[in-house]
Structure 1
Amino acid sequence: MARMHTRRRGSSSSDTPVADDPPEWSDVDTDAIEQRVVELAEEGYDPSQIGLKLRDEGVQGTPIPNVQLATDKKVTEILDEHDVGGDLPEDLRNLLERAVRLREHMADNPGDAQNKRALQNAEAKVRRLADYYRGDELDADFEYTYEHARELL
């Protein structure tokens, strides 16, 4: 598969091992895992950061290598059930932060051609992702503008 904004090919990587059941050594109760996910979300962690924290720190001292295998739910599903999730999807929020940061950099450094191109690419990705989420996770009339992105963040 090719990269989005270059003519180069992507780098290959290994696939994750296929697993249907959580490991036997990780036998934490699903309610305890869900409680820990909600606690971490209330502390301000994103779903990807929550997964890393559960993998590294675990629940009650036992690491959780894969939340979906242990609870039969994704982290975002758990957050939606408990009404703790953010108002924007994580990937869109990260792209909006990047675009705002690049726009502010371009205001200070108008001659920076590389970052001008990076800003164009980031805004194109934001628009493409907004088309994907529009109607389900976003309002039907959502349009990306720099001012609107600053308000959301």
Structure 2
Amino acid sequence: MIMGRMYSLGRGISSSVTPYRKNSYDFKGITSENLSKIIIKLFKSGLTPSQIGMKFRDEYAIVDVRNISNYNLVSLAKKRGLRIEIPEDLFFLVRRAVVIKKHLKRFPKDLSNKYRLTQIESHINRLSRYYKRKNKIPDNWSYKLSKISDTNV
């Protein structure tokens, strides 16, 4: 038996699935080398992997990078020498916690957001344990709001 969602509003276990494709398609003459050059340029300009994926979908009509290069976006960037400091989902959770913490400084009696902050912090701690186990973040990485400022996030 599979558990339901823990951190989202969905109650079931159903989710969307990427269609299965065995072969790659020729997208407007974009080769694997051209694609990796574009990815490197976009990563260096400061875009997140999801923003790069949306840009590929909207501007280049490329739905799945893996169909062209046999690598996903993040592993292609790592292969080319670009280092992603913390995974994107963890980064956005930390950013959301910082925003809520700032809000709670202005409105300390906002109990629902206090509760949401504890939920987000437990989500961050659970994800960080997983990423430490998978060696995606350093073992000494820790989440402390006092350490994290607005310049880091």
* Alpha-carbon contact 1:79-1:85 (below 8 Å) kept: yes
2:9 and 2:33 mapped to 1: Cα distance? 47
* Alpha-carbon contact 2:5-2:13 (below 8 Å) kept: no
RMSD between aligned residues: 2.3
Match of 1:120 in 2: 118
**Deviation of 1:134 (Å):** 1.6
Q: Which runs of 5+ in 2 are unaligned?
A: none
Note closer, same or farther for the CA distance 1:93–1:20 as it changes in structure 2 (3 Å cut).
same
* Alpha-carbon contact 2:104-2:110 (below 8 Å) kept: yes
Match of 2:88 in 1: 90
Match of 1:54 in 2: 56
2:113 and 2:86 mapped to 1: Cα distance? 25
Match of 1:34 in 2: 36
Q: Which runs of 5+ in 1 are unaligned?
A: none
Match of 1:44 in 2: 46
Structure 1 segment 142-153 matched on structure 2, within 5 A: 142-150=141-149, 152-153=152-153
One-letter identity of the residue aligned with 2:49: P
Match of 1:137 in 2: 136
Aligned-pair identity in percent equals: 29
**Deviation of 1:66 (Å):** 0.8
Q: Deviations over 1:86-118 (max 9, x none)?
A: 311111111110111111111111111111111
Aligned residue for 2:43, secondary structure, equals helix
One-letter identity of the residue aligned with 1:120: T
Q: Deviations over 1:48-76 (max 9, x none)?
A: 11111111111xxxx22210111011111
Q: State the aligned residue count.
A: 149
Match of 1:77 in 2: 75
One-letter identity of the residue aligned with 2:140: D
**Deviation of 1:8 (Å):** 6.8
**Deviation of 1:16 (Å):** 2.4
* Alpha-carbon contact 1:88-1:137 (below 8 Å) kept: yes
Question: TM-score, structure 1 length as denominator?
Answer: 0.85
